[in-house]
Chain A
Amino acid sequence: MVHLIITRKGQVPSKPDEVLTQQQQQLITADLTSIIVQLISTAGTLLPSVKTIGQFGQFTPKPAAVSPEQQQQQQSNNSMDVEHNYSTTEEHEEHEDGETEHLPPGSYEILQLEKEEILAPHTHFCTICGKGFKRDANLRMHMRGHGDEYKTPAALAKPPTVKEVGSAAEPVIIKRYSCPFSGCKRNKDHKKFQPLKTILCVKNHYKCNTKKFSVMADLKTHEKHCGRDKWLCSCGTTFSRKDKLFGHIALFQGHTPAIPPDETKTVVALAPTDAAAAANKLADGSGLATMDFNSGAQALMDFKSVDDPAGAAAVASCFSPLNFDSCNFVGGFPEFNRQGFDDSEASFSFLLSGGSCNYSSQKTGGES
């Protein structure tokens, strides 16, 4: 139907007036296309459940020609917001405490920028192809490449002030932005999705823009925690600050702070929760040879204490000082033979009894 309208409209001027200049024709086509675009966009707003999600680079499926007025509007919007947002800090928390705008879910369209785009130091974006620029003047130069309509003096001039834009009658599509990082509150997939207002908000919010890393690995590690609330309650609620978490726990019975799962404390590596498994591991001498010194030393220690998980009868025997057999199989260890000193007094008794001690003393055997 759109095509028909265009062809008809195109046909109309060509029939009656051959005097019309090329320029006039172009103006008319521009008008027509703008009307078509409006039709389509209003049709879009009438469908509340449809959220047009697409990347900035995929703007092209939409009608290619955007009217100069719309473009001007967008630019002015951008500049307005740009001026407004320069003062916001880069802290995550600021946005959270600040504007909580209440937009009904379908009334705005959500755009999600790719991480690389956000990280680039651009503030002005082309609405057609999504290319970013540091300066508005650069953007305007770039727009010339999208078609002759942008070569008008009006388009090339600086964006108009607020007053002029306000008189435009077209409905403005509210655009909100989503953070590409999953798990972040500002991500469209998050339960409590709080959208960001402008692209600059996105860039400021995505802290990695301001944090520079020389090593890629550090950036990746940072990304794991970026945007994630650190304070976690046992009921699953996350909080950005410790005192908020504690206030929440004070209110409810049975809630406790939860320790996030990826925090690994330095625990003895081979502490045997499953004693049998540890014993099996130790019984396999080849496994030991591959361990490094420290963990091997721990293995030694744990072996001594988890000596005999299964058999109660063997427990007493493993601790008796004369039982060397179970202690000695780790002899292949590249370590000074500590076995002899540990827990087995018998190892020294025969060395010492032949010594110069002439006193008839009784060895203390049992406990005191």
Chain B
Amino acid sequence: MSILAVLTEDLLVRVNSRIEDGADRRSWRLVCKEFLRVDSLTRKSLRVLRSEFIFSLLRRFPNVDALDLSACPRVDDGMLTLLLARGAASTTASLRWNLRSLNLSRATNGMSFKGLALIASACSQLEKLDVSYNCRLGDREAAAISGIEGLKELRLDKCLEVTDVGLVKIAVGCQKLEKLSLKWCMEISDLGVNLLSVKCWSLKFLDISYLKVTNESLCSIASLPKLEGLTMVGCPLVNDSGLEFLSRGHSLKEIDISRCEGVSSSGLVSLIRAHCNLMRIIAGYLPELSAALLDSLKLLKNLTTLIINGTQVSETVLQTISSNCKSLIEIGLSKCIGVTNVGILQLVSSHQKLKVLDLTCCGSVTDAAVCAVADSCSSLVRLKLEACYMVTEKGLERLASSCLLLEEVDLTDCSGINDSGLECLSRCSRLVSLKLGLCFTISDKGLSYIAANCSELCELDLYRCTGIGDETLAALSNGCKKLKKLNISYCIEITDRGMKSLGSLGELVDLEMRGLHNVTGVGLAAFAAMSKRLADLDLKHCENIDDSGFWALACYSHNLRQINLSNCNISDVTLCMVMGNLTRLQEAKLVHLANITVEGFELALRACCVRIKKVKMVSELRLLLSSEILEILHAKGCIIRWD
């Protein structure tokens, strides 16, 4: 009797739609064939890791409407042709009809206007396109994108060769555009933004960060009738008068003016007075917070996020914020000068609903403040206390007893933290991310508590925690099965035994293990053989790992996407094997490899030149490598960084 007799397919579909975690979905698929089929039918988004599997995947998941190709080693016109051209595989017909979202971020140079034109003609339903970080994407490609009439969201971050001409083509062609990001498109000027404001009336969110636009652009942006969110981080030529122009515009909900040198409190005041519905204000690195500004916060009844990093505050300032803002959920005071216990006390006393608090580098904060936070804000989810060195286990104890919803805690460089503090913290069983870098006073004992109780932990940072050894790793491999990202750099007590136990962390994707002198090839090989999902590995300065370890990497770590082998003792042949056999490898740092000859580098680079996107090498090699290989790499769009 199959399960469908009990639970109809509709019910199964509903249940399946609530499963988000990748591991959970995998276990769903393993239950039985009906469950597998339900999963296949309901799957809407697909993130492809290798291009050769696209067709089989599309056959299995016919209802996919969001395709993410950013992780594919090589996305070019040819692949897009195969994917979308008429007369190609049978699966493309449904893809052409269904595709709503396409992610082509960080594709190689092989993608040009021809591929994009094909997308425009084939995918009539496309609404969301991400072509960010394609440095050679220019006006011709923008012209091709402008052919996608129904486009609503477009990301052009760091498409360095797009100029005003390309932007205007998109503005005229994609009239329904709602979200546009032009971050780092340095060629864009006022002319382009002006015309964008004239043509794209549906724009709701616009990101013009780092562009060299002036107040003129803000004047035009103010005329956009539906604008809700504007991000303009680091715009050097904008000042308070520009913000005054913005005041005339449609009511904004979100504004980010961090690091704009010309902007001061008065500009922000005029903005606040005009836009009473503001929900999120991110204004980092203002020169100072004037009384007028603090006073104007009273007008914002809906303000939920206030981030004022890097500025001068005082107890009065924090008190004023506390009394004027009643509904804050997120407060950012990272790197602010003048944050004291009293200030924090006054700030949090009226904000019971606070969820996110960032006190990075607020060195004067002590346990008293942490206790105050714990007492007031029981809904706290994210707390950042990096470099608050006076915080000790007393604060953590109070924190853990009342803030049980905590998911992210950052205690980097908090030298006051010790094992008993960790024992207290471990009571927060919902912890997902824990950063304990540079905490020299913690040891295996403290971590064992964390490992035992925090089973949801996905990210753990133990950078330079010299007290940590193999036992921690053993404990983690038993208790934190969901661990995806781990940093054990310079935890020199760790040996091969610990590495072997790490292998049983089936979900581990990102491992940074710099400077582990006691780990040899044996340990690495044991780890590599079992760790199937590993995508990012940093082995810098692991000088005692010999070829057997790297050989195992080449043999088993098929999902490796980024590797740092700097200062390692790898040999010519092994390097060639690593670079050649790991078909997903896209970024490699190969600085100061003492045993590799120039020929060895040549060979290794040729082995991977088709798919490698970023390589870092010593600058001396620039003259020693053949011009041939450098030309090939350049032609394939690979970026070489010379150290």
Contacts and interface: CB of A to CB of B under 8 A. Distances in A.
A312 B49 CA distance: 22
Contacts of A357: 525, 529, 551-552, 555-556
Nearest to B607: A341
Given A256-B146, A268-B112, A301-B610, A355 B580 contact: no
B76 A267 contact: no
A256 B172 contact: yes
B583 A342 contact: yes
Contact of A246 (B49, B110, B168, B581): B168
A103 B194 CA distance: 38
A367 to B, nearest CB: 5
A275 B628 contact: no
A121 B211 CA distance: 47
A367 B555 contact: no
A338 interface: yes
Nearest to B579: A341
Q: Binding site of A, secondary structure by majority: helix, strand, loop or mixed?
A: loop
A250 B190 CA distance: 13
B520 to A, nearest CB: 14
A229 to B, nearest CB: 14
B113 A267 contact: yes
Contact of A250 (B146, B195, B577): B195
B191 interface: yes
Interface stretch (A43-51, A81-89, A290-298): A290-298
A292 to B, nearest CB: 10
A367 B26 CA distance: 12
Interface string A232-276: 000000000011001001100011110100000101100111010
A301 B77 contact: no
B533 interface: yes
Given A336-B606, A357-B555, A305 B82 contact: yes
Contacts of B533: 368
Interface in B49-106: 49-53, 55-57, 74, 76-79, 81-82, 85, 87-90
Given A341-B608, A357-B525, A367-B48, A273 B114 contact: yes
B140 A361 contact: no
Contacts of A312: 88-90
B450 to A, nearest CB: 28
B53 A366 contact: yes
Contacts of B49: 367-368
Interface in B568-627: 577, 580-581, 583, 603, 606-611
B57 A367 contact: yes
Contacts of B51: 305
Given A249-B172, A267-B114, A312-B88, A301 B559 contact: no
Interface stretch (B11-19, B255-263, B291-299, B629-637): B629-637
Given A306-B81, A348-B577, A259 B173 contact: no
Given A294-B635, A302-B78, A367 B50 contact: yes
Given A242-B191, A256-B146, A306-B81, A293 B628 contact: yes
A268 B79 CA distance: 13
Contacts of B554: 348, 352
B interface bracket (residues with beta carbon within 8 Å of A): 35 or more
Contacts of B56: 316, 366
Contacts of A364: 532, 558-559
A356 B548 contact: yes
A265 B609 CA distance: 23
Contacts of A273: 77, 81, 114
Contact of B632 (A242, A294, A340, A342): A294
Given A257-B165, A367-B49, A343 B556 contact: no
B109 interface: yes
B206 interface: no
Interface string A56-69: 00000000000000
A323 to B, nearest CB: 11
Given A250-B198, A256-B169, A302-B78, A265 B603 contact: no
A304 B610 CA distance: 10
A interface bracket (residues with beta carbon within 8 Å of B): 35 or more
Interface in B260-318: none
Contacts of B79: 305
A355 B521 CA distance: 14
A275 B85 contact: yes
Most buried by B among A300, A301, A312: A301
Most buried by B among A257, A294, A316: A257
A268 to B, nearest CB: 6
A250 B82 CA distance: 39
Contacts of A367: 48-50, 53, 57
B39 interface: no
Contacts of B164: 242, 246
Nearest to A269: B635
B555 A355 contact: yes
A302 B636 CA distance: 11
Nearest to A336: B606
A272 B81 contact: yes
A265 B577 contact: no
Interface string B440-459: 00000000000000000000
A338 B168 CA distance: 43
A361 B530 contact: yes
A348 B610 contact: no
Contacts of A341: 580-581, 583, 607-608
Interface string A159-184: 00000000000000000000000000
A301 B76 contact: yes
Interface in A319-360: 319-320, 336, 338, 340-343, 345, 348, 352, 355-357, 359
B151 interface: no
A219 interface: no
Most buried by A among B56, B172, B192, B608: B172
Most buried by B among A268, A319, A364: A268
B424 interface: no
A356 B521 CA distance: 12
12 contacts: A275-B78, A275-B85, A305-B76, A305-B81, A315-B88, A341-B581, A341-B608, A342-B610, A348-B555, A356-B548, A359-B530, A367-B49
Given A256-B168, A363-B558, 18 more contacts: A243-B191, A246-B195, A256-B173, A257-B169, A259-B165, A267-B114, A298-B635, A301-B636, A319-B53, A343-B583, A345-B583, A355-B555, A357-B529, A357-B556, A361-B556, A364-B559, A366-B53, A368-B49
Interface of A: 242-243, 246, 249-250, 254-257, 259, 265, 267-268, 271-273, 275, 293-294, 297-298, 300-302, 304-306, 309-310, 312, 315-316, 319-320, 336, 338, 340-343, 345, 348, 352, 355-357, 359, 361, 363-364, 366-368
Pick the 4 closest A-B CB pairs, nearest first. A305-B78, A319-B52, A341-B580, A359-B529
